Structure formats: structure tokens, C-alpha cells
Structure 1
Amino acid sequence: MSALGGSLFRPLGAAEEEEEQQLPAEIESLCMACLRRGVTRLLLTRVPFFKEVVVSSFACHTCGWANAEIQSAGRIQERGVRYTLAVRARQDLNREVVKTDCATARIPELEFEIPAFSQKGALTTIEGIIDRAIAGLEQDQPVRKDVDPGVAGKIDEFLSRLKHLKEVEEAFTFVLDDPSGNSFVENPHAPRRDEGLEVAYYKRSAQQSAMLGIQEEESDEKSVEPADDLRNEVLQFNTNCPECNAPAKTNMKLVQIPHFKEVIIMATNCEACGHRTNEVKSGAAIEPLGTKITLHVTGLSDMTRDLLKSETCRVEIPALEFELGMGALGGKFTTLEGLLKDIQALVEKNPFTLGDSCTPGRAEKLGVFSRKLQQILDGQLQVHFVMDDPAGNSYLQNIYAPEEDPELRVEHYERSFEQNEELGLNDMKTEDYETEKISSES
């Protein structure tokens, strides 16, 4: 308990560095195969991406039956995540997947869906998910053929189509939708963008929040203080540390950024494990036009530029063929150097680019990317740094303000239908609302 500031969850490999070994707890349990006594082992640990997990395994020494599963014990993320992968070759079937209990897996071409909470959480591959589905459907087929031959025949036909997917003679789509935000689909081209993989972050609906057993906080308009008072006050509320899940406090304050707009800065400091985090949210509305900011990074002086990256902003470094999608790293108010270091840490901590999951070729690409990123940080490599925010709420400092910056280009553009859909604007109607309301009531 005291090894990590009172945390029950200890990182993998901690037993080698500490005198006290990390041993699994053993519990005597009933074997569901022979109804005799077996042993369940539980290990509370912390692994990349999953963060806190409970690894459990059961073994019966009488009949030899064994079972193992993994469950997430970490916090539910602020937003849900949806991965859409175009499977075009057999190599795509080998992509590693983290699928939690509450994630839904779909293959639209077959109208096939694995509902949430129908399977235990697993660390597997695309092919492993298909094999698991095939095994589940084949399990009761002998009984179905005797009881209902018609249904059994249809399932056999569907199983044939499902097995045919593994040949990848035709491309198909794999969708993994997790409202908890804790699932993951591997990008084998990391840190470069994967053209076949689309990642979208979204706000959970009330039904999804209820499914996860959480309740969204209801806003109380009467308790909101005037903005003038909030600007001069630091608000504090209770929360949990994202690393060790210990009780912590988050500070929040309204800040006016010069030559830009008002933002909300939130900072969390955990006294238990020492973890610190900060996040920025826009305090203004979505702008009528999207904003694309392009900076020609010429040296170390550019590293000190203040930078505001909203949650809806996408970051690109074309020279490195790198793209950071919307929602990744959250909102940040930092410097260009701080954001590049956060990107460097994000890429290097990707669990699928480390250890047994990492192939030599991928490790070499990661090393090349890290060296080039470090050259940018050291002022040895000149590149273009792009921030594309369809909501128009991101900002990069003009060090020549109010004069024009020769190395900085700011463009405003009309959002596409897809971008408006991601921001939830297509279903939002504010014009002639009262007229339509009166007509509908009459």
C-alpha cells in the first residue's frame, strides 16, 4: 500500500526494484466445469494505455479447466472514442486491439455487431476478435441443428461469410466504439498518420453515461457567478488523479489571452503520487469560420511562442509526415516547445511501439522520428508546424504583434459538412426557433 503513495496498483516490473514483491492474491473458488474447488489469482497492476487493470486467472487442478481475463480499473475518460479501420490486407488483421467490456465492435458490411458487455475485456488482434466471434457462434450449433435446423443453417451461412473475411479478398470496415474512451486500435505506421484508420472522439449521450453507471452533472444556472467575479477568483473542486486514482483537487480560472480571447485553465496536482496535469478549454463560442495556423519554425526563438491548442485542433508536421488528431492530448495552453515535448512523450509511451509488441522496423521508424523531433526542439531542423482547428478556438503567438509576423500565416475557411458533424453543429438549429415552436404548439 505504501509503495506508491497508498496506491493498490503497482506498475509492471516494480517487483524488481523494490524489496517487497508484487504477488497475486489467491482466492479459493468454485470450478464451473466440475463443481469442485479451484484457485482464482488476482493481480492489481498498471500497464500502458489501460492504466490500472485487474488481471484474473482461474485454474482447477481436478479437471484442468482454466480461464483468464483482464478488466479495466482506471477512470472513465472524459469523452468516448470511435475507431474506424478499413481492412484492406491480411496485415491489417494483425493490428493489436484493446477492447474493454463496454466497447461495441461492428462490421457494417455483414451487419454484424458484438454488443457492449457481451464479452470480457481483452488485449487481442482484429483476427482474434473475429475468431472469438466465430467460436461463440459455433458453440451451440450441434444442439441448434437438432432443435431448429432452419436457424442453424442460417448461422452456418453467416459463419462462412465471417470466416471468408479472414482471407481479405475484399476490403471491409471494422468499427470499435467505446463510450468509456479506454479502447484502442494499433497504428502500425506510428508516429505517422494512418490513412486507413480514423479516430473520432465524442461526447457521451445520457444513455451511454447511464450504461457506464455515471451521471452527468446538471448545470444550475442560478449558481453561476458573473464572469467578472470569476476572472478574479480561482475555483477549486474535488476530482481523482488520472494516474493513481487517489483523491485530488483541480484548480480552475478564467484567463484572457492577449490579442485572442478568454479561456478556462484547469490544473490538477496529486499529493499522493506527484502527478501534475493541466488542461485548457475555450471560454468562447465556436467561431463562424475554421482557423488554420501555419508557422515556419526557423530556430530556437520559435520554441518560446505561447500556444493554445483546443480539444478540436489537429496538429500536423508535414516534413515528418506526422498528424495528431482532434482530442489527442486534450486542450493545452503552453509553448511550442512544451507541445512538441508532449507529442514526443505520447509517441514514445505508445505500448504498441515498445517491448514484445514492437517489430524492428517499427522501432527504427520511431527512432528516426524521435531524432528529427529532437532536432526541431534543438533548433537544428526547419519545418512547417500546422494547427488546424475547425472550431476556430486555437492560437499561436505572433511575436511581432500588432505588426504582421513574416513566419506565421493564419487562414480562415468554411467548415465542411463532416467537420460540422464532428462539432455537433448540423443538428443545432437556432434560426426562427420561436416561430417553429409556436406553429408546432398550435
Structure 2
Amino acid sequence: MPGHLRCQFRGVYLLLFLLIEQQWRAILKHSSTTEVSNTPQATLHSKRTVATTTRFAYAFLVAGCDPARPAYRPFLSNIAVATRLLAQHGSQAEVIVLVQMDFRSPYETLPENDLFLLLSSSSLRVHIHYIPKTPFQSYYRTQFDKFRILNFTQYDQGILFMDADVMPLTNLDYLFSLSTTDDRIKDNWVVAGPIAPANGGFFLLRPTPGAFERVAALLREQTTSHNRTRLFDSIQGWGHAVGPSDYWETRTGKRGREWTFYAAHADQGFLYHWVKYEQKNVTIVVGATVQNWGCCDEHGQVQLESTFPLRDFDLHSTNHTVSWQRKPPPTCWSVPRKECLPIYGDFIHFGGKRKPWMKPPPSNLTRATQWDSPNHLWYRTFWEINSELGLNLTASEWLTPEDPPLGLKPGKRQAFQGPPIELSR
């Protein structure tokens, strides 16, 4: 190419880049200065959906939201990606997004652009619920706000909570169907992880009247005790010493009786205590095995009622409203091949710094390559949302390498900072 033409080409390219940057800055400026008129307790939903209400829902939580510091926004993008993928695979569920604004922020609600992204990314009906700000905000405390889903008793077939950095790979409605049609399945689902018997980032609870009030009372009681002793009791845990005939088990087969597994002092320990020792009603998927725990033995304690292989689930049965359909690739991204089964193979949890938006996007991003890796699928799906909604973002503008507003994990010191945990309605 002649030199003068090359210079002209570079000039046009630079002009286009500057125009895109100017438009993006205008979007950011608008989103950081515009508030919705709804009160913080408002419930919003997408106008693109029908008015019918289902009896089951997915739930997400985003905290530390401050439009002046947009590090929270990639989590909203991930929720948009999650709802888009669920809808594409045929989900009929509703979606609850719990939002907590940063205590230091003057904003009481998300800006219009954030709401537009959440409400318009899929055909699913999305409800946004604001929870009270707290001057003691931390990663540790926010984890217990997950249990606010027990307030939504209208979803009597269950609420599946997913962390805001979880990406579903298929339609997960079959979990609600199994929970209500299969006699072998308990009201609550928990999935064991490699270093904990309960994954606090992916679980299904059945809301019942009085459950939220009991959770709030238990958290208040136990965190008062923890603050008084400045210690998390590895024997009593959240109020129950595991007996000699009882145990917890991780996906890798490790068993124990002390509350020493990862995040036992935080959401994962509390979740395990709630479903197993308070509710005495839980199905726990441990690797390729399903455990059913219920009430009660001759001493009134929870007992292991049954176990069976995960492969025994007849997920293609006509008795279920949803058939499980594994999408490519043929091997799992997050678990060993032998555990590439429903549930474990159906979602990706982008823990720590493995989040797609903290890395450069793949260079070969096309529809044909979207199943090459989790990052390919995430970026490809968000690209579709970006294009459809006219967000006009370039791939480089999706990157947010900085840490989330409240950090990456629940430090043990955070457990003893501030007053006991209070979950108000």
C-alpha cells in the first residue's frame, strides 16, 4: 500500500476510535449521573415478558454498588449473560437480583443504564430488590445476604441462588422439576465442592413461612457469640457439634466432623448448618453420589436416609417438565470427566481472579468458537447483548482488571469486625 494511502487509513482508523471512545464516555457519564425514580424497595421487571408468575426463580446478589466506582458493573454484565443463556436454553423461571448500594455512595438505586442492561438482556422476568446499606459492609457480611431469598415465599417450588460470577451452561429448571416431582429429592439442594461440603455460590432453597425469621435470629445469636469470644468454634460451628455417626464430605471424598472446611465460618458453613441441622431436609450432591439427609434418628438427630448414583437421575423422563440437554463441549470445564454430570457440568463458577472480565477477551471470538472455553462463551454472549441493546462497547472496554468492590474472599478478621449480623426485611 502506498505511504500516503497508509497514512489516510490510519487517520480514519484513529478518528473512528476517538468517536467510539467519546460515545462510551458519554454513556458512562450518563449512567453515573442518572437515577431511576423508583424507591429503593421498588420491584422492577422487564416489559418484554409476559405477566404470568412462576413458582420458582433464580437469584443473584451484587453489593458495594457505586456508579462513581464502576468495578461492580462486570457482575451486572455476568447476570445479564446468565439470564440470556438460561432463556436461550428454554428457562421459564423468574429472576431476582438483590442489590446493595455502597454505604459511601450518595446513590440509593442503580443508574438507568444498569437497570436497562439487567432488565432487557433476556426474555426472563427480572425483579430487582434493594437491600439496606450498612456502614459495616464487607465481603463476609454480604455473603449472609444471600439468605434473604427465604423472604420470597411465593416461589414455593424453590429459589436457586447463584453468585454473581456464576455462568449457567444450560437450562437449570430441571432442578426445580426434580425437587417437586421426584420423591427421592428433598426440598433443599446443596452441591459439595472440592474443599467444602456445600458450595455457597450455587444452591437451591425452598422458602417457607418463618424460615427467614429463623435465619435472622440464628445469625444474630451466633455472630453475637463469635464477637464475644473473638473465635469461630470449630467444634460447635454454627451451633451444632457433628456427632460420631455423622460427617461432612467434599466432592473429592474428604470427610470430617469439625467445622474446619473452607469458609466454614462464612456462608458455606452457615448454609450447611441451615439445610442439614436446622431444616433436616437436604439433598447433597457429592461428586457422582447423591446423599439424602432427613429427620430423624432415635435421638432426634438428622440421619442419612439414602444414597444413590447421580447417574440414576432420569432427566429425560417425561415426568419432568424440563429435559437436561448437555451442550458442547463433550468434556467439562470445571470438573473431572467422570463427574461431567448434570449439576457439576451445568455451570461455571469464575472464582477469584478467573473472571472473564479480568482478562483480555479471546482473539478468535466467533459463534463457531463460543464453546472453546468459558471465556469464549462469556464474551460471545455479552457481545450479543452489547449488539442487540446498542451499548456500542468495544471488546477492550469490557475489561475491568481491578478487584471487586468488597474484595475476592471472606477474611476471618472480617467475622469479628462490627456488630452482630442483623438481617432486616
Which of 1 and 2 has greater Rg?
Answer: 1
The structure whose residues are more often strand, as a share, is: 1
TM-score, scaled relative to structure 2: 0.25
The structure whose residues are more often helix, as a share, is: 2
Larger RCO: Structure 1 or Structure 2 (Cα < 8 Å, ≥ 6 residues apart)? Answer: 2
TM-score, scaled relative to structure 1: 0.24
